[in-house]
Structures are given as structure tokens and as C-alpha cells.
């Protein structure tokens, strides 16, 4: 039977734009244009490489997000994924990572999988914890933060460059991996890929389809609450001097003045 | 008084500084109880006790090294069951966040990651976070279960506070799930003799402007004169000039030192995300329009190959 690969991709506000909070202190998705989280492109890329290597695999991208999240899905499909699942429900708005991981777990179980591939972190929340939570919920091994990954003989192996050491990991499928931006540049969608993506199936699911109740997710079901969000005062512009041959000395003078020397 | 669990980050019993910072924060919330996994508990307990840990729950088993993350979750859960703490604090490393995440699911508790401050509140601990590349500061709390909070390095100054630090053995059982991901080999990172990037009081980073691995000694020389850690932008790392473990930014390390010196770095949003909360920021860049200058306390528009060696000499002279 073919290898079923599911890739979790997130639609995020563009980091280059003005990211803001909405009145309910959730991320304001109107304020900035959205796109497929750049760090999830690496996940799609690795999934496609594993699929190509296996010769008999199917890559499904799964996203939980608002209507516009379809853009993220379409990008992943035009890179080469075979089909997509988009979970959208008003009641999901404001979910924290506990809620999102619950919805994703249900959607992935419904889809069926041998390997789940996640990005290392979303570029908006940058928590980097969803993959571990998802593995816990799915009850499968996690091989996370990999900079190298491959699948053979029913096992996934990879390299994790941790804080204190580089580790080689191995887990039997079904398993979950997350990949870093060191795993290899993501491909650009080709024109053919973009055209093909338009015909690929996108399954739309809501909470009912996943046997979930509104109070399990969303702002109400969240296990955390943002009480305040304050714009950080812009750093007051400091002194900028042009080096006329004494720049290093001036800098030392400044540091000494700040008691940093 | 309520107890607060602290997950100890250590290397063979040598406790890392972020754990001592956690103890300081934990004392605001209750009595710190440290959880020490792996070898070296007795040695660690001395330091932990000096920083306020009343008890040190210790467990050692080959599983902690042989399998990824999950055995540690099992141990922390066992400690939780034994203590019924008011909160669980874990250092914000890649592994620490994953341990905290899985524990939170098991406890059906809310999780806050990358806090830069934790204070007691009427409805439980309130955590401060810095979000959107440090453009915003949020204050959050946990509304369900026992707060599980990961805290970034350099979030508090470790304070000495004498406590018993009594070592108690923690019994832990591992199920099949704990043995799911095997660590088939481990190569410890070689020490450079320089301070740890995330813990250093001063960081000197080089970017694309350094223009080659052979020029990084210019950065290192300044760092060494200051007793600083060395960082690099992703451009410098991707070019193969410096190891990825030294990358500062969104997908590298996040640093918050007293002084951050950026040389030949433009200041892209992803780089800023990892250094914007530094107390004092200094930049050296040829381009007066470089966005890094919007952040600096002091900037020099100039060639880093002229400015840095002069600065290094001056630092050496002044430090005598
Ligand atoms: C998803 C994602 C994640 C990312 N994560 C990170 C991250 O974690 N960390 C990170 O750093 N980047 C990250 N980036 C990359 C980031 O966007 C920038 O590309 C990168 O930070 C640029 O590095 P740089 O400033 O060294 O290079 P450049 O932007 O090329 O800047 C080099 C600077 O050096 C100056 N210069 C050149 N020669 C000299 C000289 N002789 N003397 C003085 N100045 C000189 C130039 O004027 C220029 O300003 C990420 C990008 C993405 C998309
Ligand atoms: N709403 C979402 N839909 C699908 N995947 C997600 C979603 N949120 C997070 N992920 C996945 O989880 C990874 C880590 O996210 P985070 O823990 O939020 O930083 C991302 O790189 C994605 O692969």
C-alpha cells in the first residue's frame, strides 16, 4: 500500500507586513496579507522528496484556518502535493495551540496517515510546540526538529541538531516529524504545477465532520488567555556616526560610558 | 505554601544558568521543587539548594538518553503526580518546549511558551511574552489546569536563596510510547571555550558583510576581548562561514544580552526577532540606510574591517 504522508501547513500574516492584534486579542488576520508560513514550505519540500523517493506515496496537506487559508493550501498543491484538507469553522477562531492540535489530530486521523510532517514553528506564533502536542495526541513517535530526514523499510530516520548535541533518530511508522529550515531549500511552484493545483481535490471539513464541539476549541475553549497586548515602544533612535578613522575608538568610548567595558 | 516544579537543564549535573533564573522566578509563586533527570543529581542539588530549591526529585535511567523527549515527559508527569504543584516551569529550549507541550496535553493544562517574565496574579501566574518579532508585549495566563510555562534564558537575574535542596528519588515507569523514538547516535557539540550564546552578557554577531569564513576571526577577536559569545546571521550561516548553532534569529537562537554588537548585518525582521530585546544594541555597517540602524543605541557607518580591529585594540587597552 502506498505511503500516506500528511503535511501540516499554516496560513500566517506576512512577517514583512504590519502584524497586529484584533480587539479580542487574537492575531488580526485583516491587518496584514497572509501566506503559507515560509517554514512550512520546508515541510512540504521534505514530504515531496520522501514521496518521490518512495515512488508510491500520496501527499495530503492539512490546514486549520480561515477561508483565506486556501491560499496556503493552493501554494502547497502547486509545489506538488496531491490533495488537501481544509478545516474551517467559525468556532475555531481564537484557538490556542491545545485547540489547534486537537482539531489537527482529528482531521489527520480521519484522513489516514503513515507519516505526518510539520514545520519547525509557525512564523506568527513561533511556539514550535504543535508538532510535539500533535504526536502526543496521535499517540505516535515524534522525531522533531530534523535537518535531515528519510523514510525506508517502515522507519523514519533523521538528524536533529539540538542545543547540546547532534543526534540521529529513528522511529517506526506511523510517526510524526518536524523539519527545520536547514533541511533544504523548498522548490518554487512551476507553471505546470500552478495549473495542475487548480484541479486537485480540497476537502472542506468543519467541527461537526470531526465530531468536535464548539466549546472544545476556539477562544472559549482555549486553555490560555491573553489579557493584554501592548505595542512595544519603538527603540528610540540612538547615535549614528560615520567612521572617519576613529569609529572603533568612538564605539569604545560609548561602551565605556554605558559601563559596558 | 504551594510548590512549583522546575525542570532542571544540566549537563551531567552541571546546572545551566537558565534553570537558576527559573528558580528565582519560581520563588515568587511558591516553593521551588526541582526535577533532575539523568546523572549528577547530588552535585546539582547543591547549586539548586543555594538558589532556593527545597527538594530535588531525581531520577536516572538509560531511557533519558536513549529515547527522545518522551521519557522526560513521563518523569515530569510522575513528579507532578507526587507534588501537585501550583505551576510547572521549564527552560525554553527546543527540547524544553517539547517536554512542556506534551506534559500540558497529558495534564489537560494550558501552556505558555517563551515567557520573559512570570509574576503571581489573582487568578494564577501571569506570563509576559514578547511577540511579532518583539513588536508587541503580551501578558497572558492559563485558564485551565496547572500552568505550564516555558521561560526564555536571561529573563531574570539568578538570586541566591538558601534552601535544603534535599535529594529524593523519583520512581518513573516508562511505557512503549516513551521508547518510540530511538537516539541512535549523539555527538556532543564541542565547546569553543566562549560563553553560551543564549546565556552570554555580550554577543558579537557577524553577517554577510564579514564576507567569508576566513574573516570570522575579526568577529571572534572582538568577542574574546569582551568575553562575549559569537553569533551569526542566517546569511553567514547559509554561506557556510559559521555553524548553524551560532545563528541568531527566528530560526536560530533568541538572545537577550546586555550588549549586542551586529557587524555586517542588515537587520532583517527574522534576525531582529532573535535579538531585539537586547538591552543595548550596537551596529557597524557600511550602508547608512541599513534597517539595523533603526534599532541601535549606537551605530557606526563604516567598514567593519576597519572599525572592529580598532575597537578590539581599544577594549584590550582599556581592560589593561
Ligand atoms: C523563514 C525565515 C527564517 C529566517 N531566519 C533567520 C534567522 O534566524 N536569522 C537571521 O539572521 N536571518 C534569518 N532569515 C534571513 C533574513 O531574512 C535575512 O536574509 C538575513 O538575516 C540577512 O543576513 P545579513 O544581514 O547578514 O545579510 P544582508 O542582508 O545581505 O546584509 C549584509 C550587510 O552587511 C553590510 N556590509 C557588507 N560589507 C560590509 C563591510 N565590509 N563592513 C560593514 N558592513 C558591511 C551591508 O551593507 C549589508 O547591510 C530568515 C528568513 C526566512 C524567510
Ligand atoms: N493552524 C494550523 N494548521 C495546520 N498546521 C499547523 C497549524 N498551526 C501550526 N501548524 C503546524 O505546526 C507547526 C508548528 O507550529 P507552532 O507550534 O504554532 O509554532 C507549523 O510549522 C505547522 O506545520
Rounded Cα–Cα distance for residues B251 and B164 (Å): 39
Alpha carbon nearest to ligand 2 atom 4, residue: A63
Contact indicator for A166, B187 with CB cutoff of 8 Å = yes
- pTM greater than the 0.90 cutoff: yes
Rounded Cα–Cα distance for residues B80 and B4 (Å): 9
**Chain A touched by B16 (CB under 8 Å):** no
Q: Is the distance from the beta carbon of residue A119 to the nearest atom of ligand 2 less than 6 Å?
A: yes
Question: Which residues in chain B are closer than 8 Å to A223, comparing Cβ atoms?
Answer: 104, 108-111, 142-145
Q: What grid cell was written down for B315?
A: 577594549
Residue B56's beta-bridge partner residues? B34, B167
**Chain B touched by A180 (CB under 8 Å):** yes
| Radius of gyration, CA atoms only, chain B | 21
∠ CA(B89), CA(B253), CA(B155), 5° rounding?
Answer: 40
**Chain B touched by A195 (CB under 8 Å):** no
Render each residue's pLDDT in chain B as its tens digit; 320 residues: 799 999 999 999 999 999 999 999 999 999 999 999 999 999 999 999 999 999 999 999 999 999 999 999 999 999 999 999 999 999 999 999 999 999 999 999 999 999 999 999 999 999 999 888 778 899 999 999 999 999 999 999 999 999 999 999 999 999 999 999 999 999 998 888 999 999 999 999 999 999 999 999 999 999 999 999 999 999 999 999 999 999 999 999 999 999 999 999 999 999 999 999 899 999 999 999 999 999 999 999 999 999 999 999 999 999 88
State the complex-level ipTM: 0.94
CB contact set of B167 (below 8 Å; sequence gap of 6+): B41, B42, B45, B55, B56, B58
Q: CB contacts < 8 Å between A and B, how many?
A: 262
pLDDT at A1: 64
| Radius of gyration, CA atoms only, chain A | 21
Would you tell me which residues 28-57 of chain B have a C-beta closer than 8 angstroms to some C-beta of chain A?
none
Considering only the beta carbons, identify the residue of A127, A171, A231 that sits closest to B136: A231
Contact indicator for A86, A146 with CB cutoff of 8 Å = no
Pairing of strands A57-64, A83-87: parallel
Alpha carbon nearest to ligand 1 atom 31, residue: B266
pLDDT at B232: 98
Looking at every residue in chain B, the average pLDDT score rounds to 96
Alpha carbon nearest to ligand 1 atom 30, residue: B208
Contact indicator for B248, A36 with CB cutoff of 8 Å = no
Contact indicator for A116, A176 with CB cutoff of 8 Å = yes
Per DSSP, helices labelled H in chain A are 38-54, 70-79, 97-111, 130-138, 191-197, 218-221, 247-257
**Chain B touched by A252 (CB under 8 Å):** yes
Output the CA torsion sign for B287, B288, B289, B290: positive
CA of B273 to the centre of ligand 1 (A): 12
Q: Is the distance from the beta carbon of residue A88 to the nearest atom of ligand 2 less than 6 Å?
A: no
Contact indicator for B58, B80 with CB cutoff of 8 Å = no
Question: Which residues in chain B are closer than 8 Å to A175, comparing Cβ atoms?
Answer: 180-181
Q: Which residue's entry shows cell 494550558?
A: B110
Per residue in A207-258, pLDDT (tens digit) is 999 999 999 999 888 999 999 999 988 777 799 999 999 999 999 999 999 9
Please check the confidence at residue A163 and state whether its pLDDT lies above 90.
no
Per residue in A91-143, pLDDT (tens digit) is 999 899 999 999 999 999 999 999 999 999 998 878 899 999 999 999 999 99
CB contact set of B22 (below 8 Å; sequence gap of 6+): B6, B7, B32, B89, B90, B91, B151
Residue A116's beta-bridge partner residues? A6, A176
Rounded Cα–Cα distance for residues A67 and A77 (Å): 16
Per DSSP, helices labelled H in chain B are 17-26, 41-50, 63-66, 70-83, 94-107, 216-226, 234-238, 269-272, 304-319
Amino acid at each position: 500500500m502506498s505511503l500516506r504522508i500528511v503535511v501540516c501547513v499554516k496560513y500566517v500574516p506576512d512577517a514583512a507586513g504590519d502584524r497586529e492584534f484584533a480587539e479580542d486579542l487574537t492575531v488580526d488576520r485583516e491587518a496584514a496579507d497572509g501566506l503559507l508560513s515560509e517554514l512550512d514550505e520546508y515541510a512540504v519540500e521534505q514530504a515531496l522528496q520522501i514521496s518521490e523517493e518512495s515512488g508510491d506515496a500520496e501527499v495530503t496537506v492539512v490546514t486549520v484556518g480561515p477561508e483565506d487559508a486556501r491560499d496556503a493550501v493552493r501554494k502547497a498543491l502547486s509545489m506538488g502535493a496531491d490533495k488537501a484538507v481544509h478545516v474551517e469553522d467559525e468556532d475555531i477562531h481564537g484557538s490556542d495551540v491545545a485547540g489547534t492540535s486537537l482539531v489537527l489530530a482529528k482531521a489527520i486521523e480521519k484522513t489516514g496517515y503513515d507519516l505526518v510532517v510539520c514545520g519547525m514553528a509557525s512564523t506568527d506564533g513561533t511556539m514550535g510546540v504543535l508538532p510535539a502536542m500533535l504526536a502526543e495526541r496521535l499517540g505516535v513517535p515524534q522525531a522533531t526538529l530534523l535537518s535531515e530526514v528519510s523514510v525506508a523499510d517502515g522507519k523514519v530516520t533523521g538528524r536533529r541538531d539540538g542545543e547540546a548535541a547532534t543526534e540521529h533518530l529513528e522511529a517506526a511508522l506511523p510517526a510524526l516529524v518536524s523539519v527545520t529550515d536547514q533541511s533544504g531549500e523548498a522548490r518554487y511552484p512551476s507553471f505546470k504545477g500552478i495549473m495542475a493545483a487548480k484541479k486537485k481535490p480540497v476537502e472542506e471539513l468543519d467541527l461537526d465532520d470531526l465530531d468536535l464541539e464548539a466549546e472544545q476549541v476556539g477562544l472559549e475553549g482555549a486553555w490560555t488567555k491573553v489579557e493584554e497586548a501592548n505595542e512595544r515602544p519603538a527603540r528610540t533612535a540612538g547615535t549614528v556616526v560615520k567612521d572617519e578613522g576613529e569609529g572603533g575608538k568612538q564605539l569604545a568610548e560609548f561602551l565605556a560610558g554605558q559601563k559596558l567595558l | 505554601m504551594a510548590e512549583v516544579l522546575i525542570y532542571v537543564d544540566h549537563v551531567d549535573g552541571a546546572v545551566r544558568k537558565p534553570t537558576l533564573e527559573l528558580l528565582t522566578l519560581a520563588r515568587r509563586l511558591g516553593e521551588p521543587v526541582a526535577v533532575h533527570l539523568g546523572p549528577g543529581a547530588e552535585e546539582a542539588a547543591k547549586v539548586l539548594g543555594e538558589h532556593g530549591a527545597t527538594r530535588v526529585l531525581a531520577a536516572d535511567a538509560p531511557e533519558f538518553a536513549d529515547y527522545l523527549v518522551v521519557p522526560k515527559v513521563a518523569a515530569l508527569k510522575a513528579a507532578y503526580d507526587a507534588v501537585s504543584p501550583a505551576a510547572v516551569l521549564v527552560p525554553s529550549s527546543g527540547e524544553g518546549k517539547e517536554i512542556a507541550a506534551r506534559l500540558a496535553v497529558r495534564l489537560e493544562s494550558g501552556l505558555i511558551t517563551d515567557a520573559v517574565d512570570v509574576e503571581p496574579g489573582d487568578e494564577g501566574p501571569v506570563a509576559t511574552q514578547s511577540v511579532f518579532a518583539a513588536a508587541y508585549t503580551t501578558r497572558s495566563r492559563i485558564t485551565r489546569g496547572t500552568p505550564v510555562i516555558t521561560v526564555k534564558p536571561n529573563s531574570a537575574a539568578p538570586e541566591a536563596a538558601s534552601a535544603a535542596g534535599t535529594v529524593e528519588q523519583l520512581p518513573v515507569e516508562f511505557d512503549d510510547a516513551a521508547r518510540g523514538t530511538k537516539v541512535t547516535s549523539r555527538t556532543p557539540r564541542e565547546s569553543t571555550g566562549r560563553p553560551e550564546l543564549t546565556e552570554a552578557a555580550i554577543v558579537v554577531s557577524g553577517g554577510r558583510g564579514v564576507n567569508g569564513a576566513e574573516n570570522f576571526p575579526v568577529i571572534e577577536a572582538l568577542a574574546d576581548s569582551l568575553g562575549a559569545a559569537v553569533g551569526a546571521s542566517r546569511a553567514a550561516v547559509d554561506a557556510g562561514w559559521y555553524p548553524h548553532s551560532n545563528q541568531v534569529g527566528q530560526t536560530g537562537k533568541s538572545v537577550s544580552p546586555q550588549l549586542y554588537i551586529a557587524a555586517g548585518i542588515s537587520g532583517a525582521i527574522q534576525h531582529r526577532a532573535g535579538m531585539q530585546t537586547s538591552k543595548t544594541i550596537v551596529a557597524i555597517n557600511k550602508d547608512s540606510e541599513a534597517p539595523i540602524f533603526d534599532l541601535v543605541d549606537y551605530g557606526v557607518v563604516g567598514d567593519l574591517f576597519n572599525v572592529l580591529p580598532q575597537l578590539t585594540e581599544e577594549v584590550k587597552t582599556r581592560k589593561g
